[in-house]
Structures are given as structure tokens and as C-alpha cells.
Amino acid sequence: MFHRSNLLAIPAGHSPPTQLPDEFHNYVKVCEIVDSHLPGYVYLELRYLLTECVHDGKYNAVEYDRQTMTCYFSNRYDTDSSHIHGPARIIFRNGSLPSHAVSVHAEMTLSSLHGPAHLAFNSGKALSADEVRYVRCLVWPSQAADWPTRHRNYDWQDTATVDRVVNNGCDVVGVAHRQCRQDEFFSKCQWRLSFSRAEIVLINSWMPVQQIVYHMLRVFMKTERLTDSADNSEAGKLSNYHIKTLMLWACELIPKSWWTDDLNLVRICLQLLHTLADWLTDARCQHYFINNCNLIDNSFDLTNIAHQLRSIDVTWLSTWFVVNYIGECSQLCPDIISRLFHDVSTGVKLQRAVSAIVAWRLSNLQHDSLHLFLIAESH
């Protein structure tokens, strides 16, 4: 993800800032976040020009004449549409970010890489990635004003975490709602509020078991082709964001004891998948931050997926994870370890194979971490 250093967003009616982080340019255009007819989707209306004073580093604001000019910022990329991937552009990069952009964050670890990205990290080849441009908003948006103060039965999150989330503000990514992509104006001018900064803070506050379950669910949904996180069609589909939303609500609404007292990852995953099936049947998936935003609209037809999820039982899911989750991990190990998975017909043999993977991973942890760090530093 990257943002332009000469563009900033503020909530509608909010005063322009007088100070900005160091990564911003000395001339910054400021847009107001204006609601669209769809919750969570907005327009960016040009409102101010900020100029930095060389003496004290503060910014002075000049307001654009709204009577003579109403300018909505476009969300378009200057690239072939075949490279567009939702709000992202597909890139193959060996070099650094564009000079006009500032790198901020990425929700990615070495263990979560799949496909071309994983091959790139292991072979040193160019990394295939989604490059998401966005407009920075340093203030928590009014659309999610209720989130910081709403009642939480089980004290997740604590006050410090809530404050950190709110102080990080939000971002606005350039993508129109699927129902609006055929309209010339909406497709060009509609943006989506992004809470990815908040989500990263919250995921990092989870217990290890919650982080592992989240990863297991994502791999399961992707491997079984139940999600399409890069859907550009008009028909709504389940996405990885629905899985993230499911986990965020579960961590808030379910006590810690449910996750830890009977530590059975398959049981936890199964109950969450059945909860998701209920959501799909009822056509409801409330946005975690925006109260009036349902992530499942009338364009979704997910009855078949709900039926598939509801038919899963513990025995089937246990076998699936052994073959498709642990078994896939074994393919990255030396042959002497991966061969152990040719026969995991008993609990003892499975335990021996898994223990071998864990020992090998621990012995290579420092090397892998250094390799990942050097690649990140290079980029």
C-alpha cells in the first residue's frame, strides 16, 4: 500500500490540519470525505490547498472556491485495465516505490505467502504483488464514530488498543461498489473507506490461537475456491474480507475461555464456518467498524456456499487440514521430512511428522527471517 505525499483526506466539515507528518510534501491538496448513497463508499471533494511555512513547519490553508469549481478526485489508475485487481494494480517489481509515493504498511508475513509471491521469496525472482494506492486520512472517520465507545462484553480491545486504532485514522482506496461500476461517474469517482491500519493493530493484539485460526480459515476458503478476493464482476462473491470480519466479531463477542479452555483448532474453525453459513443464509455481514454497512448485498447468491459450510463436520475438516494445510507445509521441507507424510495413518505417525516440521522450521528461523529482512530492505 502506498499514498501520495501531496494529497490528504479529512472528514466532511473537519478543519484542515496545521501540522502533518514529515512524509508529506510542502504543498498538499486536501479533500473532504463525502458520503455516497452506499455506506462505506465515499467521494473525495477538493477543498483546501495547504502550504508549509518554512519558519515553523506549520501549514496554512487556502480554501478553493466551491461556487466556481467542484472537483471530485478520480480513483483511476493510468494503466491497462487488465492489470486492475479490485482496488489494486498487479505489479512485478524489483525496484523501489515511485518517487511520489510513501510506503506505509503491509499485512504479510513469510508464512502467509502463496503462489508467485512465495516462489519469489524462495528463488530471488521479481515479486508479484498487488499495489494499492490510497489517500491518507489522519482523523478517525465520522462513519465509524460509534466504534471506539461501543460496549464490549469481554474487554477486547483494551483502552490502549482502541486509542492506537483511533489515532491512526483511516485511508480511502480507489474502488467503486460493484453495483456502481457500470456507471461512468460512480466508477470513476467512488472510493471506499479502508480500515486496514486498524485491522493490523487488532490482529496483532489477538492471542496466537486466534491468529492461527484466522490463517487456517483463509487457507481453507481459498483452497476450496469459496472466495474470490479479486472479484471485478457484477455478481457478488465471498471474499477474504468476510473471513476477516468474521474473526474480528468473534474475538469481540466470544470470551477468551472459548478459545483456550479446550484448545482444539479444528473445533474452533468448524464453529466459525457454521457461523459464517448462518450469516450467508440471512444475507447479513455487518461491517466491523461501520454500523449501517452490510457486506452482503442483494447481488450476492451464496446459498450454495452456506450449504457447503453447514455440511462440514469435525472428521472431514480434520482430514482436510492434515492433507491440505500441514501436508502442504511439508512440501517446503527437505525430502527426509516430507516423506514422513506419505503415511500418517495413525496419530503417532502424524505427531512424528509434525514434530519434524516444527524442529526444521525452528532450526531455520533465523535464516528465513534474515532472508525476508534483506528482501524488504532491498525493496
Residue entry with cell 479444528: 266
Can you read off the three cell numbers belonging to residue 162?
482502541
Collapse the DSSP code of 267 into the 3-class scheme (helix H, G, I; strand E, B; otherwise coil) and give the result. Answer: helix
pLDDT at position 228: 57
Q: Hey, what's the torsion of the CAs at 204, 210, 212, 215, to 10 degrees?
A: -80
CB 13 within 8 A of CB 45: no
State which H helix or E strand residue 221 sits in: helix 208-223
Mapping DSSP to helix (H, G, I), strand (E, B) and coil, where does residue 265 land?
helix
Is residue 135 a contact partner of residue 7, using CB atoms and an 8 Å limit?
yes
What is the predicted pLDDT for the residue at 182? 81
Q: What are phi and psi of 59, to 5 degrees?
A: -105, 135
Measured distance CA(149)–CA(169) in Å, rounded? 15
- Reading phi first (left if > 0) and then psi (alpha if -120 to 50, else beta), residue 240 is in alpha
The pLDDT of residue 91: 57
pLDDT score for 350: 92
Angle at 143 between CA 134 and CA 31, to 5 degrees: 45
- Which pLDDT belongs to residue 233? 42
Spacing of C-alpha 301 from chain mean position: 23
Three-state SS sequence of 167-180: HCCEEEECCCCHHH
Amino acid at 121: F
- List the grid coordinates of 276: 459464517
The reported pLDDT for the residue numbered 143 is 96
**Where exactly are the structural domains of the chain?**
1-205, 207-332
Which of 284, 285, 290 lies closest to 144 in space, CA to CA?
290
- Strands (DSSP E) along 200-327, which ranges? none
pLDDT at 220: 94
Query: Scanning the structure block, which residue is given the C-alpha cell 478520480?
Result: 74
- List the chain pLDDT tens, one digit each, 379 residues: 888 899 999 999 999 999 999 999 999 999 999 999 999 999 999 999 999 998 888 999 999 887 655 677 787 655 555 455 556 555 555 544 444 444 444 444 333 333 334 434 444 455 566 778 899 999 999 999 999 999 998 989 999 999 999 999 999 998 888 888 787 887 888 999 999 999 999 999 999 999 999 999 999 998 888 875 444 344 457 889 999 999 999 999 999 999 999 889 999 999 999 999 999 999 999 999 999 999 987 666 788 889 999 999 999 999 999 989 888 888 889 999 999 988 988 989 999 999 999 999 899 999 988 988 998 888 7
